[in-house]
Structure 1
Amino acid sequence: MDILRFATAGSVDDGKSTLIGRLLFDTKTVFEDQLDAVERVSRDRGEDYTNLALLTDGLRAEREQGITIDVAYRYFATPKRKFIIADTPGHIQYTRNMVTGASTADLALVLVDARKGLVEQSRRHAFLASLLQVPHLVLCVNKMDLVDYSQETFDAIAHEFTQFAAKLRIPDLTIIPVSALKGDNVVSRSDNMPWYDGSSLLHHLENVHVASDRNLVDVRFPVQYVIRPMSDDWHDYRGYAGQVAGGVLKKGDEVLVLPSGFTSRIASVETADGEVDEAYPPMSVTVRLEDEIDISRGDMICRPHNQPTPTQDVDAMICWMDESAQLQTGRKYVIKHTTRTARCIVKDLQYRLDINSLHRDEEAGTLALNEIGRVRLRSTVPLMADAYSRNRTTGGFILIDEATNRTVGAGMIADSGR
Structure 2
Amino acid sequence: MSADKYEYDLFTIGAGSGGVRACRVAAAHGAKVAVAEEHRIGGTCVIRGCVPKKMLVYGAHFAEDLEDCQSFGWNIEGKSFDWVKLRDNVMADVDRINGVYRKTLESHDVTIFDERAEIVGPHEIKLASGKTVTAKYILIATGARPHIPGCSGGELGITSNEAFHLDELPKRILIAGGGYIANEFAGIFNEFGTKVTIINRTDTLLRSYDQSLTDRLLQISVKKGIDFRFNAEFENIKQLDNGCLRVCMSNHDPIEVEAVMYATGRVPNTEGLGLETAGIELGEKGEIKVDRFSKTNVDHIYAVGDVTARVQLTPVAIREGQAFADTVFGDKPTAVDHSCIPSAVFSHPPIAAVGMTEGEAKNALGQVKVYQSDFRAMKNVVAGREERSLIKMICDGANDKIVGIHMIGPEAPEIMQAAAVAVKAGMTKADFDATTAIHPTVAEELVLLK
| Alignment TM-score > 0.5, same fold | no
With normalisation by structure 2, the TM-score equals 0.22
Q: Which structure: greater strand fraction?
A: 1
Q: Which structure: greater helix fraction?
A: 2
